[in-house]
Amino acid sequence: MNQSKDNAARRALYESIRPHHMTPLWEVLHALVPKSPTTACVPALWRYREVKPFLMQSGELITAEEAVRRVLILENPGLPGQSAITQSLYAGLQLILPGEVAPSHRHVQSALRFVIDGKGAYTTVEGERTTMHPGDFIITPSWRWHDHGNEGVDGVTEPVVWLDGLDIPTVRFFDAGFAENDDVSKSQTVRHPEGSSYARYGANMAPVRRVNTGLTSPIFSYPYSRTREALHALERNSEIDAWHGIKMKYINPTTGGWAMPTIGTCMQLLPKGFRGKPHRSTEGTVYCVTEGRGSARIGDQTFQFEPQDVFVVPSWASLSLSSEEGAVLFSYSDRPIHEALGILREEFAD
Ligand code: 1HN
């Protein structure tokens, strides 16, 4: 009796404070400070074989120029309408057909491109062009002019598809987004020969004078040929991690830290017959299959993956990776932010 009277009195208080834009903490405290992460983000996999026809169909319905960027966004099923694959990260599949141009613009959001299908497209970042090949990891740093095109390479012109990864939800969270179109030219004038940045920073050397001191790696294109060679050498000569296989992070050679300030990028090799132990981390991670087939057990779901598929592992979901034939996986996550804020937690189970 007393309690229901109290409850009625409490509800009356909540009603009276509502117009003052106030609310009682004690009703929400447990949800605000959960015992462990309670994300709305769910595990999911996009089978490239299944979604490629939709992407090609979009190629018949809109040009890259009209769309500005012809992209089908990969939305987490638990975060509908938010253009987010995890709480902090965005993912999309971008198509550029031979002869097309995606016009020059710049924005605060940082972007990565992971090439998954076709070769011969290029991206130009601040006047330096790089030709795209499958497995290449390419960076567009915050606030740098960038445009894309597809002129083919080695006499081959074909549609090119890449996975875009951006920190859009993170920048939105901080209300820090700005953007600009290049009104002067759709396509930047190339001012530096292809390979300039790589020659300057990609040979374990750096210029003695005027070292780039930005937050993002000055190597803006990490070719898969080099990454692959390193992973296979390590597979032959080094210890295999029971959880990750061989997992290497892309680094900014001028700092030794992550290649991008907000997005951590890795390439990982699962040797033939690998059966990884379960691991979980507070980072939300997007995987893209570079080579090989296998399975990802995420929480209590198992996903079979094949080349070019994309899958997402939510914060604190346990992940075990296995592969009979061996596989190579690219991944990106918000780990650099967790590390910078001192909130990263991870667990390696037996
Ligand atoms: C963007 O600039 C690109 O440059 C791709 O290719 C996807 C999604 C949202 C905002 C900007 C690109 C994007 C984007």
- Other beta carbons within 10 angstroms of residue 127's beta carbon come to 13
Same domain, yes or no, for 252 and 269? yes
- Per-residue model confidence (pLDDT) at position 86: 98
Same domain, yes or no, for 28 and 55? no
Ligand 1 pocket check for 166: Cβ under 6 Å: yes
> What's the domain range around 24?
1-33
Same domain, yes or no, for 308 and 172? yes
Same domain, yes or no, for 5 and 141? no
* Dihedral (Cα; 100, 103, 107, 112), 10-degree rounding: 20
DSSP 8-class letter at 79: S
Ligand 1 pocket check for 167: Cβ under 6 Å: no
Cα-based distances in Å from 122 to 127, 140, 162, 318? 12, 12, 11, 37
Look at ligand 1, atom 6, and give the residue with the nearest C-alpha. 69
Same domain, yes or no, for 279 and 165? yes
Same domain, yes or no, for 219 and 168? yes
Cα-based distances in Å from 148 to 102, 222, 300? 5, 17, 40
CA–CA gap between residue 168 and residue 176 (Å, rounded): 10
Same domain, yes or no, for 29 and 49? no
- Per-residue model confidence (pLDDT) at position 124: 97
Ligand 1 pocket check for 144: Cβ under 6 Å: no
Amino acid at 169: P
126, 166, 167, 182, best to mutate for ligand 1 pocket (most atoms within 8 Å of CB): 166
- Per-residue model confidence (pLDDT) at position 213: 81
CA of 46 to the centre of ligand 1 (A): 20
CA of 203 to the centre of ligand 1 (A): 29
**Residue 308 tokens, joined:** 């070019």
Give pLDDT < 50 ranges for the chain: none
Ligand 1 pocket check for 71: Cβ under 6 Å: yes
Same domain, yes or no, for 9 and 132? no
Ligand 1 pocket check for 118: Cβ under 6 Å: no
CA of 69 to the centre of ligand 1 (A): 6
58, 68, 69, 113, best to mutate for ligand 1 pocket (most atoms within 8 Å of CB): 69
CA–CA gap between residue 126 and residue 147 (Å, rounded): 9
- Overall domain count for the chain: 2
Look at ligand 1, atom 3, and give the residue with the nearest C-alpha. 69
- Per-residue model confidence (pLDDT) at position 151: 96
CA–CA gap between residue 244 and residue 266 (Å, rounded): 11
Same domain, yes or no, for 43 and 185? yes
Same domain, yes or no, for 186 and 213? yes
User: How many contiguous H segments (helices) and E segments (strands) does the chain have?
Assistant: 8, 23
Domain containing residue 285: CATH number = 2.60.120.10
Atom nearest to 148 CA in ligand 1: 6
- Other beta carbons within 10 angstroms of residue 272's beta carbon come to 11
Same domain, yes or no, for 177 and 189? yes
Please tell me the number of Cα atoms within 13 Å of 53 on its side-chain side: 2
Same domain, yes or no, for 294 and 191? yes
Look at ligand 1, atom 1, and give the residue with the nearest C-alpha. 69
Paired sense of beta strands 146-150 and 101-107, if any: antiparallel
